[in-house]
Amino acid sequence: MTHTDFIPYGRQSISEDDIAAVVKSLRSDFLTQGPCVNEFEHAICTKVGARYGVAANSATSALHLACLALGVGAGDTVWTSPNTFIASANCARYCGANVDFVDIDPRTYNMCADKLAEKLATAHTKGQLPKVVIPVHFAGQSCDMQAIHALSKKYGFHIIEDASHAIGAKYQGQYVGNGAFSDVCVFSFHPVKIITSAEGGMAVTNNEQLANHMRTHAQQGTTRSPDELTEMPGDWYYEQQTLGFNYRMTELQAALGASQLSRLDDFIQRRHAQFSHYETLLKDFPITLPFQAKDTVSALHLFPILLPEANKTARKSVFDILRQAGIGTQVHYIPVHTQPYYQALGFKQGDYPVAEDYYARTLSLPLFADLTPTQQERVVLILKHALIANQVMSA
Ligand SMILES: *Cc1c(COP(=O)(O)O)cnc(C)c1O
């Protein structure tokens, strides 16, 4: 099989304009710390309706910066979803905080707002409330942010949206990232995500203090801002006022990201057309397709299907048949609490049964901007063959 026959579950779409934008930045005076990063930050803010944007070299770094800015440290607890990429939890561990999880809704696969309410009520009686909750907009569909935000007012915690899957998604008619229901929102620009800067991420917020804190900590804890300096001996001067990191995004990355951002609407439109095509092709299949909640327009980062409860042991065989036929299916996600690192912290199988049951039965079918209807038809043909081979459906 040639490489071109392989259909990955996700991949970037790079245009000649994207390439020209990167080449232009390569020929410019700055490869890092130039104008492109600021322009990209402004462009993202304008798109999603946020006041401040802080670019970083990854969404993982941006999540870390957001936790630090909200004061997360040793002795604090951060709650997130078990159905996510490990970075949503690791960011709290970098700060020395404890992590805990809230099980998912069986239809949206997002953090369940009712379970969050129950867990908060219990934590409140024990004096163990979280400092920050990190809802993850799984597969590009917003969580029930209105409910989570109302709980944050009742119990006094902060909210970081992990919107790594969800740039361009809408909730209640507004772009995810506008900050109506959270303190900070983080996007990822990894190549499998909706738009890419190769590696890269961004934290957006409407709070100037949080933005300044994140910006300072992304550049070694330094500032050049005249109103923050203790003295101003000359133009060379900067001060390290705290301990930070080098989490900077390069100009090349920002140039690519900005060029990709101009294609965001088209990417989302294409993903929605692909979603509809899968719905048509799969309508008689005994599998559960991704549920789309009212009040949300998903960015459709992923297309996770669910095998019937009775056939959950077939998942591995279906996965293997797809992979052997050159279909790059993947599983999103291994519940974070079952990772050996988190088990060593005391979590165990059985702690979050909905996320675990979902994990046992799910597969993500390919979904990315340049996926063709013909490729989708091939994916579905092989899926049908795999389901028949496993007696999940009859021929
Ligand atoms: C991809 C991803 C991240 C991390 O993104 P990077 O840019 O690769 O650091 C974090 N959270 C979720 C849910 C993701 O899918």
CATH of the domain at 345: 3.90.1150.10
Chain-centroid distance, C-alpha 334: 15
- Backbone angles phi and psi of 118, in degrees to 5: -65, -45
E strand or H helix at 303, and its extent? Answer: strand 303-306
Query: Is 5 part of any domain?
Result: no
Parts of the chain with a pLDDT under 50 = 1-2
Please count the other Cβ atoms lying within 10 Å of the Cβ belonging to residue 91: 29
Is 188 found in the same domain as 44? yes
d(CA 313, CA 311): 6
Tell me, rounded to whole angstroms, the distance of Cα 165 from its chain centroid.
Answer: 4
Cβ neighbour number for residue 29 with a 10 Å cutoff: 8
Q: How far apart are CA 378 and CA 203, in angstroms?
A: 38
- Residue 212: the pLDDT is 96
Same domain, 221 and 270: no
Q: What is the 3-state secondary structure (H, E, C) of 8-68?
A: ECCCCCCCHHHHHHHHHHHCCCCCECCHHHHHHHHHHHHHHCCCEEEEECCHHHHHHHHHH
Give the end of a domain, one of 204, 234, 261: 261
Whether the CB-CB separation of 46 and 316 falls below 8 Å is answered with no
Helix (H) / strand (E) element for 155: namely helix 145-155
Ligand 1 centroid to residue 257 C-alpha, Å: 16
Its sign, for the CA torsion 360, 361, 365, 368, is negative
Helix (H) or strand (E) holding 160: strand 158-162
The predicted pLDDT at position 4 comes to 61
Q: Quote the domain boundaries for residue 354.
A: 264-389
* Among 78, 91, 188, 199, residue to substitute to test ligand 1 (most atoms within 8 Å of Cβ): 188
- Please say whether the beta carbons of 9 and 365 come within 8 A: yes
Give the whole-angstrom CA distance, residue 157 versus residue 161. 13
Asked if residue 383 lies in contact with residue 328, where contact means CB atoms within 8 angstroms, the answer is no
Cβ 136 under 6 angstroms from ligand 1: yes
Are both 164 and 224 inside the same structural domain? yes
212 and 336: one domain? no
Report the run of H or E that residue 216 belongs to, with start and end: helix 208-218
- The answer to whether residues 268 and 244 belong to one domain is no
Q: Which of 374, 302, 364 is CA-nearest to residue 329?
A: 364
Q: Report which of 301, 291, 281, 321 is spatially closest to residue 364, judged by C-alpha positions.
A: 301
Token representation of residue 38: 């600021």
What does the alpha-carbon distance between residue 33 and residue 327 come to, in Å, rounded to a whole number?
40
Q: Token digits for 288?
A: 């559960």
Closest of 214, 260, 193, 268 to residue 50, by C-alpha: 214
Q: What is the pLDDT of residue 309?
A: 95
Helix (H) or strand (E) holding 328: strand 327-328
Catalytic residue, from 126, 193, 294, 384: name it.
193
Q: Is the CB of 58 under 6 A from ligand 1?
A: yes
Instruction: Identify whether residues 221 and 309 lie together within a single domain.
Output: no
Q: What is the pLDDT of residue 1?
A: 46
Query: What is the structure's pLDDT at 5?
Result: 84
Ligand 1 within 6 A of CB of 158: no
Judge if the beta carbon of residue 60 lies within 6 A of ligand 1. Answer: yes
Using left for φ > 0, alpha for ψ between -120 and 50, and beta otherwise, residue 101 falls in beta
Same domain, 100 and 236: yes
| Position 1 in a domain | no
Check if the beta carbon of residue 239 is closer than 8 Å to that of residue 216: no
| CA proximity to 83, closest of 138, 46, 34 | 138
Contact in structure between 140 and 303 (CB atoms under 8 Å): no
The answer to whether residue 126 is domain-embedded is yes
Structural domain ending residue among the three candidates 228, 261, 294: 261
Nearest CA to 185 out of 52, 355, 350 is that of 52
Domain boundary pick from 197, 227, 261: 261
Q: Quote the number of domains for the chain.
A: 2
* Token pair listed for 241: 């006022």
Identify the CATH number of the domain in which residue 93 sits. 3.40.640.10
Best residue among 78, 81, 162 to mutate for probing ligand 1's pocket (most ligand atoms within 8 Å of CB) is 162
Same domain, residue pair 42 and 20? yes
The answer to whether residue 92 is domain-embedded is yes
Asked if 91 and 210 sit in the same domain, the reply is yes
Q: Is 193 a catalytic residue?
A: yes
Q: Does a structural domain hold residue 395?
A: no
Q: What gap in Å lies between CA 371 and CA 271, rounded to an integer?
A: 9
Q: Are residues 187 and 200 in the same domain?
A: yes
- Residues 214, 275: one domain? no
CA distance 299 to 286: 25
Q: Would residue 165 count as lying in a domain?
A: yes
Regarding whether 84 and 53 lie in a shared domain, the answer is yes
The reply to whether 170 falls in a domain is yes
pTM above 0.95, yes or no: yes
Note the pLDDT of residue 3. Answer: 52
Assigned domain for 11 exists: no
d(CA 15, CA 165): 21
CA–centroid distance, residue 188 to ligand 1 (Å): 6
